[in-house]
A and B are shown apart, each in its own frame.
Chain A
Amino acid sequence: MGGSIRTLSAAGLLLSLSACDMTVTGAGSASEAARGDGTGTVPLAEYPERVFWGDTHLHTDNSIDAFGFGVRLGPEQALRFARGEKITATTGVPAQLDRPLDFLLIADHSDGLGSTRRLYDAPRLLIRDATLRRWHDMMHEGPRQSQRAIAELITAASNGELPEAMRDPENQAKATEEIWTRHLDTIDRFNEPGKFTALAGFEYTLMPDGNNLHRVVMFRDGSARTKQVRPYPGLSGGVDGLWDYMAAYEKKTGGRALAIPHNSNVSNGLMFELTMPGGGPMTAEYARKRARWEPVVEVTQIKGDSEAHRLLSPNDEFASYGVAGWELGNLPLTRRATPDMFGGNYVREALKRGLTIEAQTGANPYRFGLIGSTDSHTALATGDEDNFYGKHTGNEPRAGRAAEAQNLGTREGRFGWQYLASGYAGVWARANTRAEIFDAMMRREVYATTGPRMTVRMFGGFDFSEEDFDARGWVANGYRRGVPMGGELVDEGKPPVFMIEALKDPKGANLDRVQVVKGWIDASGTTQEKVFEVAWSDPATRRLAGGRVPPVGDTVDRAKATYTNTIGVRQLRVRWTDPEYRAGQNAFYYVRVIEIPTPRWVLFDALRYKLTLPKEIMNNSVSQERAYSSPIWLVGKNRT
């Protein structure tokens, strides 16, 4: 018996030798086109004709927490899955997307990149630090213990108490360089201009006191440029350090970078402050820098939706979508949220604050577009309700996952059902390449959905006529005589006109309604908001009353997790002029498209595992999924 153990240990030694060989001989190399930013590799449309779908926020086993949560799938499997192949999830369940994505950004945490994996693989006796040794043991004990270890790790990170060996960027540098270089080679191999775009980037995990100030950093470039830098760590310093890093990257390599804030909903008011971080009036310089580096915000994802909260928007009956649980406090729930924090947590309020700061300083820090993404830690970019693989490996499809407490920190308070099967980024680009996707993000010609792939078009101008809008080629008119979503209109002293169209997801539910959300500064200098109902199904029977449209109805069969497209409509379109326009009042306008009610993932779980869901979950088992366009801003002539 003892002899056989010895033999196998020696076999393990051989194994590690052959693993070394692999990195030398086994790495296939990508074509030159795949290694670059895609410029000149495929024909470009005259203007964006197609919306490209993707996820800019996916974690794999290189992320410190994802590995600890149990994921054993790396970037390669993540890319295969995103482009439509069938793979096996960590928990052994086969997984495949109903429809492939057009692009993917694997955004593993820059802090401790690959370090939990190394901690897991490290010989136990070499781990000096008692805490690290305990986490090592817990990770080896099994999935449950592993998840507890990572919950401790997240709390330690948010309290600034990570063990020195894990925290110090110098100590991590060599390992990070190795993983980063290998990762960039991998994504180049999968990057196929015109077919599938694999973008380089990482997640910057700034989290003072557990308040979430995370950003995803996206690069426009291929590996020749991105290999010249390392992912920037987030656990120390402030966000201007990140912007300086991005500026240095652009200067050094001639490339481009942008950052995407996310989960403002668990920032306890810090993501969209009216003041400088740490207090004091916001300077124009800071506001300009922020707008320069952060052109889009991820408004919806698995850890909740950050569009609007009912406390801030009491007249919006569709506000507070996906806020249950997440509204309670910061990420690890070490600090409860108070209502005064909500203004800095939700995107609509941030857009309004941007107008206020612009009035004071001449620069709008919050002139951003909107996207959705998953933030999945399973290496599986799933945003569909009937195909949801959970936040992390601990809640991949499994009978108990909806009802269990799902703490990302160590405290109680949040539950599995509060995770959303959300979302994706829709990008209006001229072709599917790194450069075109990135440039669309920079000009904010993008939108967010909570998962369904509805088409949303919005153009703003002053001279759109009925003829412009009713023409077969109306989209071309929109580009020719106005600006698309994400654009700016300079006030001409007459009301802005918008041409808007929404098409249902060709494989999904019908549409209930299209709304325009307007925010502005009134004559007294106070910000205001209003939701306008602009187009809806069955207008003959659903009459507008008091500014509201009656509910569309509900066809969801709770027992079978089905719905029918017998209500709602496939296409909604409207040419809309702001009836409350006042000359000289700066404003923003964005479109919200609402689907008919459909089953949430918890109902599909109940069906699959033959569960009887508790009342609280049943009350949250149906939702109206939605899309948020990037805003169009109306700005004064004399703006600086």
Chain B
Amino acid sequence: MKFDWKRWAREPLVHFLLAGAAIFVVLGWQGAADDPSSRTISLTREDQARLASGFADVMGRPPTDAELDGVIANWVREEVLYREALKLGLDDGDAVIRKRLAQKMDTLAASAADAESPDDAALQKWLQDHPERFAQDMTLTFEHIYFTDRSRAVVGKTLLGGGADWTRVGDPVSLPANFRTASQAVVAGEFGDDFARAIGRVPVGPQWQGPVESALGWHLVRLTAREAGTLPPLAAIRNRVEGDWRAETARSRTDAAYKVLRDAYTVKVAR
């Protein structure tokens, strides 16, 4: 079997192992300098540059030498107190630290999904696996005649059956008389949900149908076209599919990563 490194690269467990390895490398490279039990605090040039750039991010300008000294002194102070606090176990039971670190773990698990650029094939598959999220509404092309009440609509239909001009039958209303390839959602927005559902069942053809009641009154309807909702090609909605893929993938990786970790624990809840 061919080694599917792409699939492998998506495994959350692998991410954790890689992260662990990277941490090991980073710590190895830095030596044991920031081991809380160590009594040596060393600050490399790179560390100082990082502090300076952090200062600049907040204040909008680089620090002066005196300010940088102050920042370093503050950093050292915090590091000393931080190590001592850890030795005293003050982090234990701190709800803020607990929550913040848990959040970092979740974000770490999801972050690969943020950085990744899925290819067309992956997105095509995503589109086909979740058609309900991307399918476009049914569209309708129709004319309608408005009546304020049902009995007027029935009379109107009789007049039309006798050959009356359709533009002269009906009551005035500010609604447009023609809708061209309007989505069912647009129709619902103009006439209400019941009418949008009802018109989905009216036969297509040159005959006036109805009366159909809407939220606004009664209507005779002539439906000239109805197209079922279709799934647009990937090219037309690529951004939308990619966004959906990214959100969902991040969520499922967070869940999967948690599961891997969770499985290693035995949890006993007293009942």
Once A473-B167, A475-B174 are accepted as A-B contacts, the answer to whether A506 and B214 lie under 8 Å apart by CB is: yes
Grouping DSSP codes into helix (H, G, I), strand (E, B) and loop, the B interface class, with mixed when no group exceeds half, is helix
In the complex, A540 has a CB within 8 A of chain B: no
Whether A506 lies near B104 (C-beta < 8 A) is no
CB distance from B81 to the nearest CB of A (A): 11
Whether A6 lies near B36 (C-beta < 8 A) is yes
A-B interface contact total, Cβ < 8 Å: 155
Whether A118 lies near B78 (C-beta < 8 A) is no
In the complex, A49 has a CB within 8 A of chain B: yes
Whether B108 lies near A506 (C-beta < 8 A) is no
In the complex, A171 has a CB within 8 A of chain B: yes
Of A17-25, A207-215, A324-332, A591-599, the segment with at least 4 beta carbons within 8 Å of chain B is: A17-25
CB distance from A26 to the nearest CB of B (A): 5
Whether B54 lies near A122 (C-beta < 8 A) is yes
| Choice from A19, A50, A470, A504 contacting B215 with Cβ under 8 Å | A504
Once A14-B108, A473-B177 are accepted as A-B contacts, the answer to whether A6 and B35 lie under 8 Å apart by CB is: yes
The CA of A320 and the CA of B145, in the complex, are separated in Å by 40
Whether A125 lies near B101 (C-beta < 8 A) is no
| Choice from A99, A123, A125, A504 contacting B216 with Cβ under 8 Å | A504
Whether A165 lies near B214 (C-beta < 8 A) is no
The CA of A25 and the CA of B59, in the complex, are separated in Å by 28
Once A26-B115, A28-B242, A30-B239 are accepted as A-B contacts, the answer to whether A471 and B216 lie under 8 Å apart by CB is: no
Whether B36 lies near A2 (C-beta < 8 A) is yes
Q: Chain A residues near B174 (CB, 8 Å)? A: 455, 457, 474-475, 501, 503
Q: Chain B residues near A50 (CB, 8 Å)? A: 176, 190
Interface size on A (CB < 8 Å)? Answer: 63
Q: Chain B residues near A30 (CB, 8 Å)? A: 239
Q: Chain B residues near A128 (CB, 8 Å)? A: 59, 67
In the complex, A127 has a CB within 8 A of chain B: yes
Interface centre among A15, A30, A453, A457 (most CB of B within 10 A): A15
The CA of A171 and the CA of B55, in the complex, are separated in Å by 12
In the complex, B92 has a CB within 8 A of chain A: yes
In the complex, A130 has a CB within 8 A of chain B: no
Of B4-12, B18-26, B201-209, the segment with at least 4 beta carbons within 8 Å of chain A is: B18-26
Whether B148 lies near A571 (C-beta < 8 A) is yes
Whether A1 lies near B92 (C-beta < 8 A) is yes
Grouping DSSP codes into helix (H, G, I), strand (E, B) and loop, the A interface class, with mixed when no group exceeds half, is helix
Within 8 A of B (CB), among A354-400: none
Whether B60 lies near A165 (C-beta < 8 A) is yes
In the complex, B61 has a CB within 8 A of chain A: yes
Q: Chain B residues near A3 (CB, 8 Å)? A: 36
The CA of A10 and the CA of B28, in the complex, are separated in Å by 12
Q: Chain B residues near A13 (CB, 8 Å)? A: 26
Interface centre among B27, B34, B71, B174 (most CB of A within 10 A): B174
Of B83-91, B124-132, B222-230, B258-266, the segment with at least 4 beta carbons within 8 Å of chain A is: B83-91
Whether B177 lies near A99 (C-beta < 8 A) is no
The CA of A49 and the CA of B190, in the complex, are separated in Å by 11
The CA of A26 and the CA of B174, in the complex, are separated in Å by 46
In the complex, A444 has a CB within 8 A of chain B: no
The CA of A469 and the CA of B107, in the complex, are separated in Å by 62
Interface centre among B177, B190, B215 (most CB of A within 10 A): B215
Q: Chain B residues near A570 (CB, 8 Å)? A: 215-217
CB distance from A191 to the nearest CB of B (A): 11
Whether B189 lies near A99 (C-beta < 8 A) is yes
Q: Chain A residues near B170 (CB, 8 Å)? A: 472
Whether B19 lies near A14 (C-beta < 8 A) is yes
In the complex, B142 has a CB within 8 A of chain A: no
In the complex, A174 has a CB within 8 A of chain B: yes
The CA of A134 and the CA of B121, in the complex, are separated in Å by 51
| Choice from B92, B112, B117, B193 contacting A18 with Cβ under 8 Å | B112
| Choice from A10, A126, A175, A472 contacting B51 with Cβ under 8 Å | A126
Whether A12 lies near B104 (C-beta < 8 A) is yes
The CA of A198 and the CA of B71, in the complex, are separated in Å by 43
CB distance from B142 to the nearest CB of A (A): 14
In the complex, B161 has a CB within 8 A of chain A: no
The CA of A571 and the CA of B22, in the complex, are separated in Å by 69
In the complex, A348 has a CB within 8 A of chain B: no
CB distance from A144 to the nearest CB of B (A): 14
Whether B91 lies near A26 (C-beta < 8 A) is no
Can you offer 12 A-B residue contacts whose CB atoms are under 8 A?
A5-B86, A6-B27, A10-B26, A11-B19, A11-B23, A11-B108, A14-B19, A174-B60, A471-B172, A472-B172, A503-B174, A570-B216
Residues of B within 8 A of A (CB): 19, 22-23, 26-27, 34-37, 51, 54-55, 57-61, 67, 71, 74-75, 77-78, 83, 86-87, 89, 91-92, 96, 101, 104-105, 107-108, 111-112, 114-117, 145, 148, 167-168, 170, 172-177, 185, 188-193, 214-217, 238-239, 242-243, 246
Complex A-B, nearest 5 residue pairs according to Cβ-Cβ distance, in ascending order: A171-B60, A506-B215, A506-B192, A2-B86, A2-B36
Residues of A within 8 A of B (CB): 1-3, 5-8, 10-15, 18-19, 21-22, 25-26, 28-30, 49-50, 76, 99-100, 118-119, 122-123, 125-128, 140, 165, 168, 170-175, 189, 453, 455, 457, 469-475, 501, 503-504, 506-507, 570-571, 573
